[in-house]
Amino acid sequence: MNTIAVYQQIVKIKQLTVTAVDIDKEIVIHCHTNTEFPTCPTCRSSAQAVDDPIMLRVRDHDLSLRTTWLSIKVRQCYCDKCGETQIEALPFLDKNRQATARYVKSATAALNANR
């Protein structure tokens, strides 16, 4: 199994396809969303991709004791029902789109355990 395939299994987010991995003092996993059409974050309808994709850099679980980031290419989409252009729905991220929901959940649990 090649490195990309290994990291695809580690990331384990169905909506993301891993395209490259940079391993240095930190690990950066490059990926993009892979659904055929973006999903409107407001009404969950299938929406139309518009404009250029944007890059999000979000924190995920450490791997091999290294700070790990997902660098995700995401689409902006226009929803006919809502009449708005927004970043596509990314249910695996926290609401600020700065970390994965699983990272926030485990970091919060660790903080509470230390109280």
Residues 81-110 within binding reach of Zn ion (CB under 5 A): 81-82
Q: Output 60 or 88, the one with its CB closest to Zn ion.
A: 88
Residues 73, 35, 43, 9: is their CA dihedral positive or negative? negative
CA atoms in the 13 A half-sphere facing the CB of 94: 16
Complex with Zn ion: residue 84 or 94, whichever CB lies closer: 84
The angle at the Cα of 107, spanning 101 to 89, to the nearest 5 degrees, equals 10
Stretch that binds Zn ion, among 3-11, 18-26, 55-63, 72-80 (CB under 5 A): 72-80
Cα–Cα distance, 113 to 24 (Å, whole number): 30
**Least distance (Å) between residue 16 CB and Zn ion:** 22
Closer CB to Zn ion, 43 or 55, in the complex: 43
